[in-house]
Structure 1
Amino acid sequence: MPLDVADADDTEEPPLSNDLSTTEEPCGLTRVAEDVEGCYTFLTPNGTKVWCPNQDRDTKPIVGATYGCWNDVLRMYKNYAECSGFSVRIGQTKKNKDDQVTHKYLRCNKAGRPQSKRRFDTLDESSMYVRKSSFQVTDCKARISVQVSEAESTFVVYKFVECHNHPLIEPYNRDFTKAGRKLSFSTKQFIHHMALNRIGPTIAHRLQVSMKGGHHNVNGTPTDFKNFSQAIRLFIGNRDSQLLLDRLRDRVKNLPDFYFDFSVVKGELRHVFWVD
């Protein structure tokens, strides 16, 4: 069966039970801590510690559940991950000989085997540059496996691995996750309106934190606000001069005593004069 992505992890059977319950101790696991920050801690027979989210049945994936489209499956698992304290990564896709999708996987974003640090010569200018990153994978096996029937347009969850081999993110720090840092449309609009009033992204973030009662209620960090503000400027690019002239023309239409004039030299706006 051909695979879209060469990743052997998804074809291997996880060492833990497929249906791990947090209300009862899973077979072979010993509970070592009660519900702390929304999860239970267990010990496997070989002494490895695992973390299982404490979520009700309305939130967690159910083996045998059927969905009408892939987006519904993705939305369900992302909502479960957001409530539990981890992020989701789309795994591999399996296809049959007729090039039809038969299986899909959604995994914890810490899935994958850790790689050893690459060695390179710091004195060699042509040597490969290694980007620094604080993110680490732990070969986490938490995932859901979905059987796909394109003919019937059904997506059935047939495997659910619940436990993680790494601590989950605490509720008060979940605004720093990838999903928590995603700027909503209203936040983007707020940054843009602040920029129009000559208020920078850093102060705009402070205002949002103050108005919403804390940083945990605000989507995005000051860096995310800066990145979006920069993206707006790059989108405007060399059209900022035209935007300025259009705004001045609007003022002429709405303000009877307003007047402006400008000069262009070799296609560049050189001088602008206005009086109110």
Structure 2
Amino acid sequence: MEFWAIARLSQDDKGKVLAIVAIVGKKEIVITSEILTIKLQLRDTGDDDKFLKLVMDVEFIEQGYYGSTKYATYEKKHCSAGLKYLFHAIMHCLSDKVASSSERFCPKTGLPFIIPDVSKEIKPQMDMIFTSLDDCYSMYVTYAKACGFLVRNETAKINAKGEKHIKYYMCMRARVYKDKKVDTLDPNQKERLVRSNFSKRTDCGALLCVIFEVGSWKVYKFVEEHNHDLVERPDKHFLPTERHLTQLPKHVIHNMSKLNLGPVKAFNVMKTCFGGFEDVSASKVEFKNYKRQINLFIGEYDAEMVVRHLDEKKTAQPNFSYDYFTDEDNRLKGLFWCDDQAKRNYHVFGDVISFDATYAMVFVPFTGIDNDHCNVTFGVALLASEIADTYIWLLRVFLKVVGSQPKVVVTDQDPAMKKAISALFVDTRHRLCMWESWIPAYYRMEELSGLMRTISRTESENHFFGQVCNSKATLVEFMTHYETAIEA
């Protein structure tokens, strides 16, 4: 005991530890790694009677040592586990392959504690004073960003007056999740909680604790040691605190959405334009979350927002027309709109029209052909169903808006369309798509029928709008996509 009380390390000019030295009485005692190896004969092999590494690790921990056991020997011969622990501890001090004796190791991970290397200006100090908890939290978050870890806003202790007295801020990896035991054979077991992701908590002890004294908050405990790796500088932009959407990416997401480009494509465009992930200030997750938040905000007011938008267009454009109807539960069942340009197109080119409904979304465009054999739109509608009553409502609104019946209507063999056309377009000749009738002579006596004998024009228009929209889009998104396509 006297030796260890006065022992010191003998080092060379470069700081390498050569031996443990102490003078006991008048005799100098020197312990080197070679002496331990030879005198104690702990490295001889050939004996099957050995310690298991797990057993040795437990023995070391019970003795109060938490260092690496990589360089320990495990033969039982010649010594006890306690003596081997002493040998290993001394070898750890003398070895140039491991950390110095001043380095501490975490008993839970077996890794050395990590102390962040940051400037003193941003590091918390004992007895620091803060006027509010917000200032304290902001300071610790700034320190955490520089170090490379996240801060958890932990609980506070309340005094007898019901006021906050002590406040804790801890590393995000503090504490550990407790596994909930579930008896899978028990039929009465109602809940079975299964984590979908691996827990990254390591029971880290790094923390900042402040206490309320004389009208201010004072730091009275600060632990800066972490038992896990910290995020390096090149990867700090992946920290959640560094990932946030500014106004620019929000604007990009909104404008890309008009072209039916999702948030992931918007992120890839920004990443390419800015030169890398770190310059976007957010990841794909934030882009997708922002788009989801917009859809959640729209929610059940989707149809109401579209109708309000059309009403605002009616106010700004007096010749703009729209109409809609709802069911007994006030749910939107049909919506039709037609702007001034569509009305002019109909009065000039509306002798022969065609309309057809898409399959994924009941989108019904009224289509014709101009003098250049190009498609023109006379109006569009969104329907909740393809029944006769719905089409009757649609054609009634269409006639009210455009003011006259077409000479020829070309559709497919939909019986609901046929019933609605015969009821509303009494002066119009209804012709089926030539590909479905297979009788070209069917159109021989129709004026201008050479321009449109099939519904391929309408199907082409459906395909065009389908490129800038999808069946999963909200009504607000569809309206935005449609108007973008028309302006193009």
Match of 2:257 in 1: 195
Q: TM-score when scaled to structure 1?
A: 0.73
Give the alignment partner of residue 60 of structure 1, picking from 123, 131, 148: 123
1:237 correspondence with 2:264:
no
Residues 96-105 or 179-188, more deviating: 179-188
Give the Cα–Cα distance (whole angstroms) in 2 for the partners of residues 242 and 196 of structure 1.
Answer: 19
The alpha carbon displacement at 1:234 in A equals 1.9
Give the Cα–Cα distance (whole angstroms) in 1 for the partners of residues 320 and 115 of structure 2.
Answer: 66
The alpha carbon displacement at 1:233 in A equals 1.3
Larger radius of gyration: 2
Change beyond 3 A, Cα 1:258–1:122: farther
Structure 1 contact 121–127 (Cα < 8 Å) conserved: no
Match of 2:218 in 1: 156
In the TM superposition, 1:81-230 aligns within 5 A as: 81-113=144-176, 115=178, 118-121=181-184, 126-149=190-213, 152=215, 154-184=216-246, 187-230=249-292
| 1:193-247 CA-partner distances (Å, limit 9, x unpaired) | 4435533211122223233321122343323322332222122112111111222
Change beyond 3 A, Cα 1:56–1:66: same
Give the Cα–Cα distance (whole angstroms) in 2 for the partners of residues 113 and 191 of structure 1.
Answer: 38
Q: Match of 1:52, SS?
A: coil
Tell me how many residue pairs correspond in the alignment: 236
Change beyond 3 A, Cα 1:193–1:58: farther
Q: TM-score when scaled to structure 2?
A: 0.44
| 1:60-103 CA-partner distances (Å, limit 9, x unpaired) | 21222211111011111111111211000122322333333221
Structure 1 contact 112–138 (Cα < 8 Å) conserved: yes
Identical pairs, percent: 29
1:79 correspondence with 2:139:
no
1:262 correspondence with 2:324:
yes
Structure 1 contact 65–156 (Cα < 8 Å) conserved: yes
Q: Match of 2:118, SS?
A: coil
Greater strand proportion:
1
Structure 1 contact 146–157 (Cα < 8 Å) conserved: yes
| Gap runs ≥5 in structure 1 | 1-31, 34-41
Give the Cα–Cα distance (whole angstroms) in 1 for the partners of residues 250 and 103 of structure 2.
Answer: 44
Amino acid at match of 1:98: K
Greater helix proportion:
2
Change beyond 3 A, Cα 1:123–1:204: farther
| Gap runs ≥5 in structure 2 | 1-96, 340-488
The alpha carbon displacement at 1:134 in A equals 2.3
Structure 1 contact 209–218 (Cα < 8 Å) conserved: yes
Match of 1:11 in 2: none
Change beyond 3 A, Cα 1:188–1:255: same
Give the Cα–Cα distance (whole angstroms) in 2 for the partners of residues 195 and 92 of structure 1.
Answer: 42
Change beyond 3 A, Cα 1:98–1:224: same
Change beyond 3 A, Cα 1:129–1:53: same
Change beyond 3 A, Cα 1:66–1:190: farther
Structure 2 contact 177–199 (Cα < 8 Å) conserved: no
Match of 1:43 in 2: 103
Alignment RMSD: 3.0
The alpha carbon displacement at 1:256 in A equals 5.3
Q: Match of 1:106, SS?
A: strand
The alpha carbon displacement at 1:185 in A equals 5.3
Amino acid at match of 1:213: G
1:251 correspondence with 2:313:
yes
Q: Match of 2:260, SS?
A: coil
Q: Match of 1:50, SS?
A: coil
Q: Match of 2:267, SS?
A: helix
Residues 121-130 or 102-111, more deviating: 121-130
Amino acid at match of 1:93: A
Change beyond 3 A, Cα 1:186–1:67: farther
Give the Cα–Cα distance (whole angstroms) in 1 for the partners of residues 178 and 211 of structure 2.
Answer: 30
Give the Cα–Cα distance (whole angstroms) in 1 for the partners of residues 268 and 251 of structure 2.
Answer: 16
Give the Cα–Cα distance (whole angstroms) in 2 for the partners of residues 255 and 77 of structure 1.
Answer: 56
Residues 170-179 or 65-74, more deviating: 170-179
Structure 1 contact 262–269 (Cα < 8 Å) conserved: yes
The alpha carbon displacement at 1:106 in A equals 0.7
Q: Match of 2:190, SS?
A: coil
Q: Match of 2:113, SS?
A: strand
Q: Match of 2:241, SS?
A: coil
Change beyond 3 A, Cα 1:130–1:74: same
